[in-house]
Structure 1
Amino acid sequence: MLGLLFLLLPSVSTLSQELTTCIFRIAHQYFTPGRPLLVSLSSTAKNINNMLQILHSESNWPFLIKSFGSETVYNDYDDIAKHFSYIIFVQTLQEDDDVIEIMGEQIEEIELSDCWNPRAKFLIVIAGPLSQEREELAQDVAEELWRTYKIVEVVILIPELGEESEAYGDEEQNEVDVDGEQNEVDDNDDNEDQGNYEDDDEQKFTYANDDKNIIAFELYAWIPYQSSEICAEVNIFLIDKWIAAEGNFETLTNLYPSKIPHFFNGCPIVVSPMEAPPIYVMAVNYTDENGVVHYDYTGYEPALMKAILTLMNFTIVYNHIPMEDAYNTRVQSLFDLRSGRMDVVMGCIPLHPIVGSMNDYTDVIYGDDVLWLVPCGKPNPRMQQVGKIFSVSLWCAVISVIIVSAIIMWQITKHSVGESPGYKSIPICLVNLWAVTLGVGVTEQPRTARQRTVFLFLVWYSFAINLLFQTYFTSILVDPGISAQIETRDELYSSDLIYEYKGGLDTYISNAYPEYYNEITLPRRECNYKDTCVVEYYKRDDMTTISTVLFTECFLLLALPSDSDAPHFCIVEETITTILFPMYLTKGSPLVKAY
């Protein structure tokens, strides 16, 4: 069975048969079988043994029983499946007991679990003497659940007692001893449970929960965003009623209808964009005749956000936050989001486990690689590159061939009859052979067969050398190439460059990846520009910095004149990390499903 049932459980006895039947019907009809169901009891709760027995007999949810307030018992295996359903019992002993406070204590403990799921289905069962009207109490409970936890999928169950039981203050009639004289003690309770009840024999309950006193169980719910007038305002209503005498629901209405619409009727949504020039900036800032300041933003994220929220028929209300320190401003905005002051926060805020545990987030909008920007290689001097066409040994070989050939031809001429006099001295032979090497005419053609053989050999040799030389020479004239640049992190750390940093990204790397950050051995210096070091990087070649690809490209495109060449920057091949950027929403926000 995939489900797991956590019970925050004190000593208990039996529960009203009608209430048990009602809860079972709701759980059986609306709670997902095989998915985690959590049952929470207040410290004063009692009388649930028969309900647990019925739920257990259905075999839809296995049980892990735990006393409320005690240390959590964790599983030996890794089970982080989100809870799909909650049954929360809130029981009062006296009329002046605060239902909201009792419920809040229970949910605060549940919220500490990694399995906490505010978008699950909640059934709040309230019992005991009440100082408020049922509908008024249900309204307060729903408002608290929405304001603090953003819980929408909730049904609040409150017993409706007969006229004889409305007077909760009649202690002589309603007072019940906990030591076993109340209603009926479960026959299966062992001696230890009986002893616990006897120890508490001075505690009295001042409400009657017998089936004969309950005529119905009222079920309250609310649905947000039904109209532009209501929007997210909590307006509780009686969705159905369990009739005790009939053992059935009055109208058989769906208790958990789909509550988050696809269109939100123009309801306002408060968005706090964090400016991140040049990816997006505040484009409009004006004050209308009523003194209200209006803002608008342009850029990739705002355009996508506007498209989504416009499609969902939201009215966007911007909560402008002045940018001081990029990192700290974003951190503070996320805390403000958690407190419910706004609905959406966006603006180059990375997806991070710590941030994700505080707030909910949408799907990733885009990702950006974080890289080292290093100086690009400079163009090589052309004459220097020409000298490097052939190695020194090859140049020596060419010269040696010319000299040796000149000596051979001089000797052939010296011992031959009828040879041209132009080859009778070594200097003249060298001049002619140099002319052959350069591909120009000689002073005289050789006449003898042996002389012509040597001459022809040198012609073909010079042709091959010239062909190679001219090919490389032409390439160098067109593109002499660039000097070697830094390509690896080891080369970077062994260089004499200065690491220049600025605010946000450097702080993010140091906090998110401390081991990597501590390995940086380069001397550090804060750059002068307000928000980025890209300006210094583009002007100087003695520094390096960390930046993201998209930010650097956008910044250079905006910073350079429109008629300039496309911006070019050089990077270390190793990527530090890839930052994923979502939009953040209030923890538990039902809008996550809509996104």
Structure 2
Amino acid sequence: MVLFKSYSNMPCYEFQMASLPVKKFLHLVLIGMLIVIGPARGRVLLTEEQNHMALCVEAIAQKYFSDGRSLLFSVPRDVREVTGRPRVQLSYGDDLDLVNSVLQKINENMSCPVQFPSDAEVTMTAETNYNYIIFIWREQEHENVIDCLRRQLDTLSDSEIQQWNPRGRFVVVVTDHNSGTPRSLAHEIYETMWEEHSIFDNVVIISNSERNHLQKQMRNLSSEGAIFDLFSGFPYQRGNCGKVNEVTLMDQCIVQSNVTFPSRANLFPPKIPKDFQNCVIRVATIGIEPFVILNKNHTRKDGTTEYDVRGFSVEFFLLSARKMNMTVVFLPPVLEITFQGGWTVMENLVGGSAEVIVGLVPMLPIIITPDSEPSIPYIHGTIKWLVPCPQAMPRVEKIITMFDASVWLAITLCFVLTSVVFWCLASISDSLAMKESNTLQTITSCMYSTWAIFVGISVTEMPKTWKTRVFFVFYVCYCFAINTVFQAFFVSYLVEPGYEDRIETFDELVESNVSYGFNSAMETGILTTDYTEQIKLFASRRIDCSDMENCIKRILQDHDIATIAVPTYAKYVANKFGTEGKTDAPCTLDENLIDGSIVVLLRRGSPILNQLNKFIRLSQEGGLVDRYWAELNSDALLKRIPESDKDGSTGYFVFSVSHTGPAFALLLCGHALSLLVCLAECVYRRIKQRWSKENTGRRRSSNLQ
């Protein structure tokens, strides 16, 4: 295609002067040149050293890279188009010819998809890369290959967020090594990849031109052969604790008639030990009790502060660190759930002050950044609305509401009508010369007798006529039925008056008079869900709930707010503060807001991730999670001071005379009213007698006159 372009730049008049057969002849010549040059590309255009290096890279890829998994190539930016694919140029001796040759050999001999950084779209379902081949050379005369390597690694880590895998296998091919000895350059390359991107499983292929002649003589190789050194490092070898002091010559790649590795050593051996030999790991913690508990802190001799941190979330990491023989150093813990606290621990992780974040770290997209990666979840929970539980109704109020208003109205109407019927029957019997009882002669005495029957007291005198007696029997049966039902409910409500209606749905919560206790960190996590519109319904009823423990305590005791939290944590708070009874347990809405998990957050590429996941999984399978949580709740129950012991009240009581106080109070009011009526009648009688005597005296005096 380049040749066509060069001919297309010729002046037009030259083509016009040529005849038609000459034009056809030129086209045939050009096509023949392309046919000859095309197959020769990668063999003829490569130098001898480049051709041998391509064979060496191909042999390593075939031996250590799995078929079927994607292989990502990375080259310097000066040979990349806008789309990210290498330019195909016909330039003799160019390093890109080496890349094209390796691509050709891998495509012919391996079954794996080959990608370049911008070819793979970043999606949530993207496959994680496990194999990398990075070519580095000086892009400009004044710079070194380390700058080229840094740019490529930064590009990979930024553009391949979902696919970037620092724990994959890396092969770094150095085609330009004019700066320093091969061993020192390999050490600088490995140190750069380890310290800046936590890449530990890599091999550096580099040619040692100065030693090649001597090596060939020692190994009886022909002048056409080549030897390449294969270097790698071990960050935790001999107690280095992550410091790479030197690189190791793993093997050599000898290319002659074929490719051989004389030492036959594994180029990618396990480099992360099971025993870290007391290497220090810095841990940042965030959370509230019981997840993160600060037991004590003291000052060391050098002036630094040592923190003793425990808790439900910390114990699992301490157990794993103990099994890996690592020394844990805690940074100042953040004992609150706030946005500022979360920002502080994330700065510690990204800035390198901490290597791990332990505590209440939810597995949310806003938490998992390109610079971090989570462990497997060790706590699974559901976030729900915590609402006030229904309270016991006042006993007097419950007795009043024992019957509906219509029932009380019917009883009152029956009482009045029965009194009237007794009075009417007594009046009819008197007109028929059948003398009825004196207690039924007046309407007041009829009402008195009717009330006595209703409350279960005997009347002073039985009715005498058969009609009155029949009605009297029916009324006694009615009162007996009503009294039986009333007494059954009366005793039950005095002992257990019942509870108010429970808040079961979100609409009922909005219509209630409770306020919303918000937490800034919790709301930040909710912003990643579709629940933000419902939170806005509480815009005018918001209370700061940064201290979740006191907030839940307020829900359990004051019953005036609602908040969003994990029900198991609310149960722990209830046990800690000694609230007893099933009505004081945290109540929740049936709807689940977020099904979340708690994880340990590590720096991306952390070498301890796989072992940490292993110990977390073993803890879950062994039941240590449930056991430790049960122990925390048991300790809270044993250490608590029940509120019932402070005020002397208990959940149950013995029914005694004191509980019949309302009845005696009503009886006292009735006697007082009767006494007042009696006094009024006596006064009225005295006044009436005096008034009648005066009238009698006036009549006599007027008769005498």
Shorter-chain TM-score range: 0.7 to 0.9
Alignment partners' CA distance in 1, 2:224 and 2:350: 43
Q: Tell me what 2:100 maps to.
A: 49
Residue 320 of structure 1 aligns with an amino acid whose one-letter code is P
The residue type equivalent to 1:365 in the other structure is Y
Match of 2:64 in 1: 30
1:231 to 227, 233, 241: 241
Write the letter of the residue equivalent to 1:58: N
**Residues 1:478 and 2:495 aligned together:** yes
Q: Structure 1, residues 224-257: CA drift from partner, whole Å, max 9, x if none?
A: 4344x22322242122222223521112222222
The Cα of 1:437 is off from its aligned counterpart by 3.0
Counterpart of 1:460 in structure 2 is 477
C-alpha displacement of 1:584: 0.8
| Bigger fraction of residues in helix | 2
SS in 2 for 1:306: helix
8 A contact 1:41–1:90 mirrored in 2: yes
Distance 1:514 1:388 in 2: 41
Give, in whole Å, the separation in 1 of the partners of 2:556 and 2:74.
61
1:434-453 alignment runs, 5 A limit: 434-444=451-461, 453=470
Per-residue CA deviations over 1:74-133 (Å, capped at 9, x if unaligned) read 569975111121111123478865121111212222222131111111111112243222
1:586, CA displacement in angstroms? 0.6
Pairing 1:40–2:55 present: no
> Would you say the 8 A contact 1:338–1:587 is kept in 2?
no
Are 2:365 and 2:528, in contact at CA under 8 Å, matched by a contact in 1? no
Does residue 136 (structure 1) correspond to residue 184 (structure 2)? The answer is yes
Q: CA deviation at 1:355?
A: 2.5
Q: Is the 8 A contact 2:381 2:596 kept in 1?
A: yes
Task: Please give the residue correspondences for 1:208-287 in structure 2 after superposition, counting only pairs within 5 Å.
Answer: 212=223, 215-227=226-238, 229-234=239-244, 235-245=246-256, 247-274=259-286, 276-277=288-289, 279-287=291-299
- Gapped runs of 5+ residues in structure 1? 1-11, 167-210
Aligned to 2:667: none
Matched AA of 2:179? S
- SS for the counterpart of 2:183 is helix
Give the structure 1 partner of residue 400 of structure 2.
387
Distance 2:546 2:105 in 1: 71
Any idea what SS the aligned residue of 2:203 has?
A: strand
Question: CA distance change for structure 1 residues 399 and 525 in 2, over 3 Å: closer, same or farther?
Answer: closer
What code does the residue aligned with 2:101 have? Answer: N
SS state of the match for residue 329, structure 2? strand
Q: What one-letter code is carried by the residue in structure 1 that aligns with 2:339?
A: Y
Matched pairs, number: 532
The residue that corresponds to 1:155 in the other structure is 203
Return the alpha-carbon distance in structure 1 between the equivalents of residues 461 and 454 of structure 2: 15
* Identical-pair percentage: 27
What's the offset of the Cα at 1:366? 2.2
CA contact (8 A) 2:555 2:562 kept: yes
Contact 1:35 1:83 (8 Å CA) reproduced: yes
TM-score normalized by structure 1? 0.76
Check conservation: 2:286, 2:335, Cα contact below 8 A.
yes
The answer to whether the aligner puts 1:520 opposite 2:538 as a matched pair is yes
Structure 2 equivalent of residue 193 of structure 1: none
Residue 389 and residue 375 in structure 1: after superposition, are their counterparts in 2 closer, same or farther (change >3 A)?
same
Matched, 1:18 2:18: no
Q: Does 1:60 align with 2:94?
A: no
Instruction: Quote the Cα distance in structure 1 between the aligned partners of 2:464 and 2:60.
Output: 117
Residues 457 and 517 of structure 1: CA distance in aligned 2, closer, same or farther (over 3 Å): closer
Query: Offset of 1:258 from its aligned partner?
Result: 2.8
Q: Note the C-alpha offset of 1:480.
A: 2.8
> Residues 508, 270 of structure 1: CA spacing in aligned structure 2 closer, same or farther, 3 A cutoff?
same
| AA aligned opposite 2:317 | M
Matched with 2:597 is 580
Partners of 2:413 and 2:548 in 1: CA distance: 63
1:25–1:419 distance in 2 versus 1, CA, 3 Å = farther
Which deviations, in whole Å up to 9, do the C-alpha atoms of 1:509-529 show, x marking residues without a partner? 467765554453224454797
Task: Go from structure 1 to structure 2 and tell me whether the alpha carbon gap of 1:490 and 1:564 turns closer, same or farther (over 3 Å shift).
Answer: closer
**Shift of residue 483, structure 1, vs aligned partner:** 4.2
Task: Tell me if structure 1 keeps the 8 A contact 2:292–2:309.
Answer: yes
CA distance, structure 2, for counterparts of residue 528 and residue 268 of structure 1: 33
Q: Which moved more, 1:331-340 or 1:369-378?
A: 369-378
Residues 247/162 of structure 1: CA separation in 2 closer, same or farther (3 Å cut): farther
Partner Cα separation in structure 1 for residue 289 and residue 125 of structure 2: 42
Q: Tell me if 1:100 matches 2:146.
A: yes
Once residues 328 and 546 of structure 2 are traced to their aligned partners in structure 1, the CA distance between those partners, rounded to angstroms, is: 36
Question: What's 2:322 paired with?
Answer: 310
Please state how far the C-alpha of 1:296 moved relative to its aligned partner: 0.8
Deviation for aligned residue 1:284: 1.9
Structure 1's 424 and 282: CA in aligned 2 closer, same or farther, altered over 3 A? closer
1:396 aligns with 2:442: no
From the two aligned structures, give the one with the greater strand fraction. 1
Gaps of 5+ in 2: 1-40, 80-94, 215-221, 613-705
SS in 1 for 2:367: helix
1:421 and 2:437 equivalent?
yes
2:52–2:226 CA contact under 8 A, matched in 1: no
Q: Deviations over 1:367-418 (max 9, x none)?
A: 4554555555554332222111112221222233445455556666755999
CA distance in 2, matches of 1:379, 1:531: 24
| Matched letter for residue 225 of structure 1 | Y
2:307 match: 295
Alpha-carbon distance change, 218 to 551 in structure 1, aligned in 2, over 3 angstroms: same
Letter of the structure 2 residue corresponding to residue 582 of structure 1: V
Note the aligned Cα RMSD (angstroms).
3.9
Secondary structure, in 3 states, of the residue corresponding to 1:469? Answer: helix
- The structural deviation recorded for 1:564 is 8.2
Aligned partner letter, 1:331: W
> Deviations for 1:3-43, whole angstroms, at most 9, x for unmatched residues?
xxxxxxxxx94564433333223222222221121111224
Q: Helix, strand or coil: the match of 1:466?
A: helix
1-structure distance, mates of 2:349, 2:232 = 26
CA distance 1:101–1:392, shift in 2 (3 Å) = same
Tell me the residue number matched to 2:342: 330
1:546, CA displacement in angstroms? 4.7
Structure-2 residue corresponding to 1:110: 156
Code of the residue aligned with 2:314 in structure 1: it is P
Structure 1 residues 335 and 592: CA distance shift in structure 2, 3 A: same
Residue 360 of structure 2 corresponds to residue 348 of structure 1: yes
Question: Could you tell me how far apart the structure 2 residues matched to 1:444 and 1:212 are?
Answer: 141
